[in-house]
Amino acid sequence: MEIGMSVGITGAVGIAAGAWLRQRHRWNRDRHYERLASHEAETVLKFPVALSATVAEPSTLAATFDRERVIRTTPFLAPDCLEALRTEALATRSEMEPSFIPLHKQGHTLSYEKVIRLAPRSWSFFRSPQVVEWLQGVTGVPMLPTPIQDQSTLSLLCYQNEGDHIQWHYDHNFYRGRHFTVLLALVNRGDSNGLSRSVFQRQLPDGGIEEFETAENSLVVFEGGKVRHRATPAAAGDLRVVLSMTYCADPRISWVKEAARRFKDTAFYGLRALWD
């Protein structure tokens, strides 16, 4: 009897200690994210974004987006601005995390937190008032960032090995407002007409497939929960680096969906996504 009570007390103490440690870790991580976010304004000022002199007026794309939930435009950035972003992104390749899910995806990813620390120009692009205003002109709704704890909010995706890809999927919306994915092609090089064999495609309502050329300086905007899409496999010698961003009209999220979001992110960032 006494032994059983002792084991029960020890177990309860262990559970309580574990819960306290997890909560302490959560508090520390939240403070860490707050410190990172506090540098946003100065980063945007330090690394201003310059759009291409011939960038499309968002009003000319709005009707297509409203109908198709996806648009592509190029060139989006001024050449010097693109080159600075590309150079910065390539310098982070050794810090990217490999991700592999059999039959679904493989590639490398630089998380939001690492982008903030290692690729400030990409962060500035994501939060640039000029870029956000342009995107809002296309979608017709507010384009607010998803929370900094969401490591997929802003990331660099790299397809550099033969077979790197992601299969057909939707970008599930965990937030209250409409959810959008924005892809900026920074590097797209290979032996096939100078471009990587890894191609962005979407599935049409009739089951057909539409291919979007994503040469360097192309921007694709789509509503990920409405557009089924994939990146086809890269070939040997290919290199495709994409700045991936997510925005939403209302970034509030329930605790149930936050837990589901974290579970989804384990595919990109491992088990640490559950508690970081």
Tens of pLDDT, residue by residue over 64-76, are: 999 999 999 999 9
Predicted model pTM: 0.85
What is the average per-residue pLDDT within 75-87? 98
Residue 244 predicted with pLDDT over 80:
yes
pLDDT mean across residues, the chain: 87
Query: Which band of pLDDT confidence, cut at 50, 70 and 90, is reported for residue 149?
Result: confident
The answer to whether 245 and 181 are in contact (CB under 8 A) is: yes
30-34, 60-64, 141-145: least confident range: 30-34
Other CB atoms within 10 Å distance of the CB of residue 172: 12
Q: What is residue 193's three-state secondary structure?
A: coil
How confident is the model at residue 147, as a pLDDT?
Answer: 84
pLDDT at residue 275 in the model = 55
In the three-class reduction of DSSP (H, G, I as helix; E, B as strand; rest coil), residue 72 is classed as strand
pLDDT, residue 267, reads: 57
Phi first, then psi, for residue 116 (nearest 5°) are -60, -40
Q: What is the pLDDT at residue 245?
A: 96
Provide the phi-psi class of 123: left if phi over 0, else alpha when psi is between -120 and 50, else beta.
alpha
Say if residue 61's pLDDT is above 50: yes
> Residue 57 phi/psi, 5° resolution?
-70, 130
Residue 227 predicted with pLDDT over 50: yes
CATH dotted code for 40-274: 2.60.120.620
Q: In this predicted structure, what is the pLDDT of residue 10?
A: 56
Nearest to 167 by CA among 234, 233, 213: 233
User: What CA–CA distances, in Å, run from 267 to 30, 82, 240, 271?
Assistant: 22, 29, 20, 8
State pLDDT tens for residues 16-34.
554 454 555 555 666 766 7
* Per-residue confidence band for 262, with pLDDT thresholds at 50, 70 and 90: low
| CB atoms near residue 78 (< 10 Å) | 17
pLDDT category of residue 152 using cuts at 50, 70 and 90: confident
pLDDT confidence tier of residue 123, bands split at 50, 70 and 90: very high
| Cα 196 → chain centroid | 20
pLDDT band at 94 (very low <50, low <70, confident <90, very high): very high
Quick one: pLDDT at residue 36?
67
Q: Name the one residue in this structure whose structure tokens are 């937030």.
A: 175
Q: Cite the beta strand spans of 137-236 per DSSP E.
A: 144-145, 154-159, 165-169, 179-189, 200-203, 209-212, 219-222, 229-231
pLDDT tens profile 96-108: 999 888 888 999 9
What are the sequence ranges of the domains in the chain?
1-38, 40-274
**Token pair recorded at residue 43:** 């980063």
- The mean pLDDT value for 1-17 works out to 55
- Asked if the peptide bond before residue 75 counts as cis, ω within 30 degrees of 0, the response is yes
pLDDT band at 232 (very low <50, low <70, confident <90, very high): very high
Asked if the model's pLDDT at residue 46 lies above 60, the reply is yes
Between 15 and 249, the more confident residue is 249
